[in-house]
Amino acid sequence: MMSKKSPQLRFEGFTDDWEERKFGEVWKKSSERNLNLEYSPKQVLSVAQMKLNPSNRNEQDDYMKTYNVLHKGDIAFEGNKSKSFAFGRFVLDDLQDGIVSHVFYVYRPICKMDTDFMIVYINNESVMKYLLVKATTKTLMMTTLNTKDIVKPKLNLPSLEEQQKIGSFFKQLDATIALHQRKLDLLKEQKKGYFQKMFPKNGAKVPELRFAGFADDWEDRKLGELASFSKGNGYTKNDLVEFGDPIILYGRLYTKYETVIEKVDTFVNKKDKSIISGGSEVIVPASGESSEDISRASVVGKSGIILGGDLNIIKPVNYIDSIFLALTISNGSQQKEMSKRAQGKSVVHLHNSDLKQVNILYPKLGEQQKIGSFFKQLDNTIVLHQRKLDFLKEQKKGFLQKMFV
């Protein structure tokens, strides 16, 4: 039977229980201050972000003597509460020697530990929560560390060799996650850049960047002249079931935005008088928490999908491409115009009557289709990268649960 002092998942060759030690046997509170002004204002560190955060104070300012010294490998307590850290958190200095404000308690390691392992360890809420719940006091926005209490709780640590294995594993995993995040961010920035160049800027009749073979000016008309309008009907989150008929609810458009909705993973039991998609409808939320939430549009890519309440449904005329229309509504000057027309305070609303007044610039159908196809392909690539990133983050969560005690 697996011991409570050994993790569920381990590297080959490690079988011993993790050693139980009190916090105060692993870290000792440091009282080292910058009394001799050995560290300059340029060496002030941000604990929250663990990066240099130079101060504008004079190098000889006596206030600099109140700063605590934080050596590389030390940890400092940061009391801000968040979703990830309900009781505050310790932050390990893996950057350089420096100084931090006297409000931060600094702890220095007593024994040799692997830095990469300790970064993961102290950021693992499921491990640290047990310690911090016993040694912190909550206020409205912050938690305060009780220095007499933090030394008592026990934690479990593996041998240095196993620490190094675990630390190296998570360092590599974090690097992979960071790489995929950078790729995703780059793709999103590229999309913004393409949109700015492939749609006319304010007052212009042609875009900066076009597909070969297109040179005519774009036309300018009210959306009300280019489409028919209707509303979704009668479903809320309370109607959702595990299996049933596919449905799109308005919240999906700002919690899981896609230019073209191809797959639906929410279901209801169909009611009478339901509004069913025929495919290629453009849908816009009719209400939301902010004007930005509802100033976006998606194309329903399939027929047979129920369109729930609080959805504005736009059916464009035959010379307006649905994907192009959703793109132009969700970006640039059209999006800004929609935001201005949204009404309300705590909840904002956007009606079909508002949408009809939005000015739309559009080229001939062939160019619309080229633009729509280009951005749909780019969106598909972004979605693939997002899924890969989400998968890696979920993998990391699983490893954190199984590789620690």
CATH assignment at residue 370: 1.10.287.1120
**% residues pLDDT > 70 (the chain):** 98
Please tell me whether residues 336 and 356 are part of one structural domain: yes
Q: What is the mean pLDDT of residues 47-66?
A: 92
Q: What is the mean pLDDT of residues 251-272?
A: 85
In the prediction, which pLDDT does 337 show?
77
Please tell me whether residues 114 and 165 are part of one structural domain: no
Please give the Cα distance from 361 to 125 (Å, whole number).
51
Please give the Cα distance from 119 to 109 (Å, whole number).
13
- The mean of the pLDDT values for the chain is 92
Task: State the alpha helices, DSSP H only, in 16-139.
Answer: 23-26, 115-122, 125-135
Q: Is residue 252 part of a domain?
A: yes
Starting at the earlier edge strand, list the strands of the sheet with 348-349: 287-288, 348-349, 343-344
Which residues have a Cβ under 8 Å from the Cβ of 213 and sit 6 or more positions away?
none
Domain boundary among 140, 157, 174: 157
Residue among 144, 127, 135, 130 nearest 81 (CA): 144
Element (H, E) at 329: helix 322-329
Q: Is residue 5 part of a domain?
A: no
Q: Residue 176: pLDDT above 80?
A: yes
Q: Residue 188: pLDDT above 90?
A: yes
In the prediction, which pLDDT does 150 show?
95
Q: Residue 314: pLDDT above 50?
A: yes
In the prediction, which pLDDT does 295 show?
77
In the prediction, which pLDDT does 339 show?
75
Please give the Cα distance from 293 to 252 (Å, whole number).
11
Range of lowest pLDDT (55-59, 99-103, 244-248, 253-257):
253-257
Return the structure tokens found at 93. 């200095």
Q: What is the mean pLDDT of residues 115-120?
A: 97
- Strand ranges inside 146-232, DSSP E: 154-157, 219-222, 227-231
Please tell me whether residues 59 and 29 are part of one structural domain: yes
Residue among 354, 369, 360 nearest 319 (CA): 369
Residue 157 has φ and ψ, to the nearest 5°, of -130, 140
Q: What is the mean pLDDT of residues 186-209?
A: 93
Range of lowest pLDDT (31-35, 54-58, 76-80, 95-99):
54-58
Q: Is residue 10 part of a domain?
A: no
Q: Is residue 232 part of a domain?
A: yes
Q: Residue 82: pLDDT above 60?
A: yes
Please give the Cα distance from 3 to 89 (Å, whole number).
27
Q: Is residue 245 part of a domain?
A: yes
Which residues have a Cβ under 8 Å from the Cβ of 252 and sit 6 or more positions away?
261, 266
In the prediction, which pLDDT does 1 show?
43
Better-scored residue on pLDDT, 161 or 358: 161
Please tell me whether residues 26 and 151 are part of one structural domain: yes
Domain boundary among 128, 157, 186: 157
Q: What is the domain extent for residue 404? A: 159-213+363-405
Count of structural domains, the chain: 3
Better-scored residue on pLDDT, 73 or 254: 73
Q: Is residue 117 part of a domain?
A: yes
β-pair partners for 324: none
Please tell me whether residues 164 and 151 are part of one structural domain: no
Please tell me whether residues 351 and 397 are part of one structural domain: no
In the prediction, which pLDDT does 307 show?
95
Please tell me whether residues 248 and 315 are part of one structural domain: yes
Q: What is the mean pLDDT of residues 133-150?
A: 90
Please tell me whether residues 80 and 117 are part of one structural domain: yes
**% residues pLDDT > 90 (the chain):** 75
Domain boundary among 157, 182, 199: 157
Please give the radius of gyration of the chain, using alpha carbons only, rounded to the nearest integer. Answer: 28
Q: What is the mean pLDDT of residues 319-326?
A: 96
Q: Is residue 13 part of a domain?
A: no
Q: Residue 270: pLDDT above 80?
A: yes
Q: Residue 252: pLDDT above 80?
A: no
Tell me the one-letter amino acid at 86.
A
Q: What is the mean pLDDT of residues 198-210?
A: 91
Per-residue pLDDT of 14-53, as tens digits, reads: 999 999 999 999 999 999 999 999 999 999 999 999 999 9
**Position of tokens 């000015």?**
359
CATH number at residue 108: 3.90.220.20
In the prediction, which pLDDT does 330 show?
84
Q: Residue 315: pLDDT above 70?
A: yes
In the prediction, which pLDDT does 294 show?
74
In the prediction, which pLDDT does 3 show?
58
Q: What is the mean pLDDT of residues 108-121?
A: 96
Q: What is the mean pLDDT of residues 222-233?
A: 94
Please tell me whether residues 383 and 285 are part of one structural domain: no
Q: Residue 101: pLDDT above 70?
A: yes
- The pTM (predicted TM-score) of the whole model is 0.84
Please tell me whether residues 250 and 182 are part of one structural domain: no
Q: What is the mean pLDDT of residues 64-93?
A: 94
Q: Is residue 367 part of a domain?
A: yes
Please tell me whether residues 385 and 297 are part of one structural domain: no
Q: Residue 288: pLDDT above 80?
A: no
Alpha-carbon dihedral of residues 195, 196, 200, 203, nearest 10 degrees? 150
Q: Are 329 and 335 in contact (CB under 8 A)?
A: yes
Please tell me whether residues 78 and 201 are part of one structural domain: no
Q: Residue 227: pLDDT above 90?
A: yes
Q: Residue 368: pLDDT above 70?
A: yes
Q: What is the mean pLDDT of residues 190-207?
A: 91
